[in-house]
Chain A
Amino acid sequence: MNALLEQFLSESRDFLQGIADKLMQLEENPNSTELMVELFRFVHTLKGNSGLFDFPEMTRVLHASEDLMDAVRNGRVHYSQELADQLLEAMDFVGILMDEVEGTGQLSNQHSEVSAALAQSLRALIVSAPEDSIEIGSDAISILLESSEISIPKTNVTAEKPTLNLPEEIAVELYRTAKSGDVVTLLEYAPEAECFFKGEDPFFLVRQIPDVLWREVTTLNNAPLAEMDAYSCQLIFRVITTADVIELRELFRYVPEQVNFKTLEAASFILPDGEKEEDALQDEFIASALELLNKDDTATLIRSTETMLGLVAPTLWFSSALRWLLIILECDAENQALKRILIESLHTFELPNLTNLAAEIVVEKSPVEEIIEKSAIVLSEKDHARFDMIMKSQRDVLRLPNNNNAVFVGRLKAVATTLKGCCLALNKNSDAVEVEKALETAISENSSEALLTWLANYTIPTEKTVEIVESEKMVKSEQDVEKLIISPEKETHDSSLIMPNRRAEDNAPASKTLKVDQEKIDRLMNLIGEMVVAKNALPYLANRAETVFGVRELSREIKAQYAVINRVAEEMQDTIMQVRMMPVSFVFQRFPRMVRDISRKLGKEVHLVLEGENTEADKNIIEALADPLIHIVRNSLDHGLELPEIRKAAGKPAEGKLLIRASQESDRVLIEIIDDGKGINPEVIKNKAYEKGLIDETTLERISDQDAVNLVFAAGFSTAEVISDLSGRGVGMDVVRSAVEKVNGTVGIESEVGKGTRLFLSLPLSMAVTNVMIIESNKQIFGVPMDMVVETVRVPFDQIQAIKQKQTTVLRGKIVPLLSLNELLAQNIDQIPNEGNEFATLIVRIHGENVGILVDDFRETVDIILKPMAGILGGLSGYSGAALLGDGSVLMVLNPRELI
């Protein structure tokens, strides 16, 4: 896949997410114009991006969405739920297309139907808006029909061979205009079928044509109006005008390939029309008329024609031809051939020769084209049009009024630079010098007149161009002169000359974010972790230097150096942590849509509140969080929140509230999911757990309500009677718990029947480097994760009491159960107290409860990289992993949660 496509996909997904977010926010705040404008911008940019690729199905839907949002933004269409649904559906479709593009690198052609249907339903929303309907197609035609003297011809005129079907009066008028010296141009404009989707308005464009003599609109292949597809343009506009072709080209500059210009000769309008019936007087008239023509007796011919005209029915072709004859005699009396042809045609009712004359078409040349021809540079038609377009644009710029002097002068300079560029591109360096002069005049006069004049003169090709063709050598010498003229000017812009040199150093890419493969970051992270461990070797070394080799001096120096390395390593570690940090919004952002869809499906009304979305945590943690959170939210929606009727009956507002809140507590992220639903009934849980054999009868009787509620986390527990397709997928909350614990997190639940449930997850900010406390027991050292350690105390032997064969102590007024580590590790040795007969006790927090672990002694805390146990040792759940210490020894890290 090429880089552009990759960029497109990645950026577009952001936009899709952005659109979904904005729509959700709009739901809360349907009148926010700010949101609408932003939403429009997203859709607009997305459409613009898709236009770079050949994904017509995608672009079509996006274009329709953009038009819809434009209408919403401008207040033409009211924002509604239905509208949001439609847009979301459209964006989902776009997302599916993107998936396909991402997977296969292209789009199959099976989407066009869906795409068309979506676009149509989106557009239907625009059209169905009450005011300012922008329905195009048949509407436009009917307006056109009313507003001008046009007709849709009934004869079989094909699009390929357009024959003008002018009423005689108009033809006569056109003929007279053409004869009077005006250039009469026929403009044929066949907008492309997709033009309505490109923001084009052909009807508007046609109405902009000045000096219209006649115009008509026909349909492609003469399709009846009723059968036309209102979304595709199948119209052909024909306009006869005396307007300058240059002006017309400018008007149609965006659709040059869809317009055709023809200069019409006066004779082409002579098209007698009428019933082709023989008349008794016909032959006699022709004979006498030809005789008069030969004698060049115009006066008698006119009289005889007028007499004849009085005798024949005016609807006949013969009569029409006679009227034309009169007009020709009046306007073009010298043209013997034309008169003869017309008179002779009265025999046959055909005008063969004249149609040939009429077909003589001269294509108007634009001024630029002429210049170019004469300066002997071969330009393609496209390039002509481009030069032309640039010149026209500069004229438009120069004609604008001076509203702001600074901008005005800047504009003049920019126009001059542009024009100079054109001149140089055409190898007409002398003209560039003239532009420079005109600019100086313009700036000193504070008026664009000088440049406009230059432009006006430039477009009229005169001797100037001939000069160049005749004397190529002259150009060369002129170039030299020009260099002399330009060089002092360049000195004044000294800075601009220096800058390109400077650029070499500071051409850093503009983008401020850098997308890096996560693997690279992970590798960096591992390396830094290893370095953290390696640096830990230094204190050992210092120790050895002093004790083994007795070099105290060196020991001190090593320690000093260690301090420096330690600081740098810590900073590096912090920085790389920062790189890996992601806001929880990464997970949260999918909730609005999800909650909306699910609650719709279930017929529940839910108000979702997200808090603390900017709270950050390590990428791995955030990613590990996604699935459990989704599961929890689904559960809350499915089992927690009640249907509106039930809520009302319970005296609660019909709309349930779901709060998802993230916050940071020291080095942990706390995520709470709080609903105000029916809560968890401990009795139901107890019975269920008993039924499933999770607890025995004695526990059933003794278990506290809180413990009962906690049973939802037990493996193989699922409370819903019916496994719905939402929450129940054969997995229960135990999956949530294990997923959270995998990243050293904890999960808890609090619930009150009838009031609601609060689930909370506590997760470490980062998981790459673990801070552990080293403890000693039975001459071995072990690590205990610091995030579990509440405190370390030394409990005097006489304060340890036995309650029901279990050792306990009272700590700050609370009973804390005590367990011996040796016992937990199945080693039949008593813990060793210190000299004061006190036991080193590690208070750890497990499932919300404090437990004391008796050990032999405490050591320091260290940062380690915890490697999970693999292979056979992987089954030892009592250990969460092993780590390498600075002196090269291995530290086993305990997992008290499993151990106890």
Chain B
Amino acid sequence: MKNILVIDDAATVRLYHCNILISAGYHTDEAINGIEALEKALTHHFDLYIVDINMPKMDGYEFLKELRSKDIPQAPAIMVSTESAKNDEMLAYNAGANLYLVKPVKPDELLSFTRILLGEGI
């Protein structure tokens, strides 16, 4: 089963994303900030990361930079933000995101992107 790490400080958002993903048959894991996410990413295999930007302790940008600098299989990362700002988007890419989506991500949108990024079809 594909394993997806959902990283967000807001429990509601984590639950929202996980519910969608789990209902589509994915396995999910959660992290409440970049530090926790990094710990998990280094000890477990994930096929996709869904990353919030604004988090305490370690934000999404920092997390992705750390993640991308590690010698591990690099899974795609979707950055989710409440802002649709070009500048934020480029920052996200620079940190190592592969996609930038604006919250709230609709369920069909999230699943469609997930399936594409995981190479499972449309």
**Residues on A facing B (Cβ under 8 Å):** 3-4, 7-8, 11-12, 41, 44-45, 47-49, 51-52, 198-200, 254, 377, 379, 382-383, 386-387, 389-390, 393-394, 396-397, 400, 403-404, 406-407, 409-411, 413-415, 417-418, 420-427, 432, 493, 496, 499-500, 502-503, 506-507, 509-511
User: A406 near B68 (CB under 8 angstroms)?
Assistant: yes
* Chain A residues with CB under 8 A of B70: 406, 410
- Which B residues between 8 and 59 are near A, CB-CB below 8 angstroms? 9-13, 15-16, 19, 27, 29-32, 36, 40, 44-45, 54, 56
- Please give the distance in Å from A32's CB to the nearest CB on chain B: 16
Given A51-B82, A410-B67, also A425-B96 (CB < 8 A): no
Known: A400-B93, A423-B119. 17 other contacts (CB 8 A): A12-B12, A45-B54, A49-B12, A386-B113, A386-B116, A390-B99, A396-B89, A397-B96, A404-B65, A407-B65, A411-B96, A414-B75, A415-B98, A418-B98, A421-B118, A425-B120, A507-B27
Given A199-B85, A500-B3, also A4-B98 (CB < 8 A): no
- A45 is contacted by which of B10, B44, B72 (Cβ under 8 Å)? B10
User: A4 near B12 (CB under 8 angstroms)?
Assistant: yes
Given A7-B15, A414-B76, also A199-B82 (CB < 8 A): yes
User: B98 near A503 (CB under 8 angstroms)?
Assistant: no
Given A410-B96, A511-B11, also A48-B116 (CB < 8 A): no
User: A7 near B11 (CB under 8 angstroms)?
Assistant: yes
- B82 is contacted by which of A7, A48, A511 (Cβ under 8 Å)? A48
Closest 8 CB pairs of A and B: A410-B68, A424-B119, A406-B69, A510-B30, A413-B74, A499-B45, A421-B119, A414-B74
User: B115 near A48 (CB under 8 angstroms)?
Assistant: no
User: B93 near A393 (CB under 8 angstroms)?
Assistant: yes
User: B69 near A3 (CB under 8 angstroms)?
Assistant: no
* Chain A residues with CB under 8 A of B45: 496, 499-500, 503
* Chain B residues with CB under 8 A of A48: 10, 13, 82, 103-104
Given A49-B12, A414-B68, A503-B27, also A41-B54 (CB < 8 A): yes
- A49 is contacted by which of B13, B32, B36, B75 (Cβ under 8 Å)? B13
- Please give the distance in Å from A528's CB to the nearest CB on chain B: 30
How far apart are the CA atoms of A579 and B118 in the complex, in Å?
42
* Chain B residues with CB under 8 A of A415: 98
User: B12 near A397 (CB under 8 angstroms)?
Assistant: no
How far apart are the CA atoms of A39 and B93 in the complex, in Å?
27
How far apart are the CA atoms of A3 and B1 in the complex, in Å?
24
| Most chain B CB inside 10 Å of its own CB: which residue of A49, A411, A502, A503 | A411
How far apart are the CA atoms of A425 and B89 in the complex, in Å?
24
How far apart are the CA atoms of A424 and B45 in the complex, in Å?
20
Given A4-B16, A386-B112, also A422-B98 (CB < 8 A): no
User: A414 near B116 (CB under 8 angstroms)?
Assistant: no
User: B32 near A510 (CB under 8 angstroms)?
Assistant: yes
User: B76 near A377 (CB under 8 angstroms)?
Assistant: no
How far apart are the CA atoms of A7 and B29 in the complex, in Å?
17
* Chain B residues with CB under 8 A of A421: 76, 116-119
How far apart are the CA atoms of A14 and B36 in the complex, in Å?
21
How far apart are the CA atoms of A502 and B3 in the complex, in Å?
12
User: A394 near B98 (CB under 8 angstroms)?
Assistant: yes
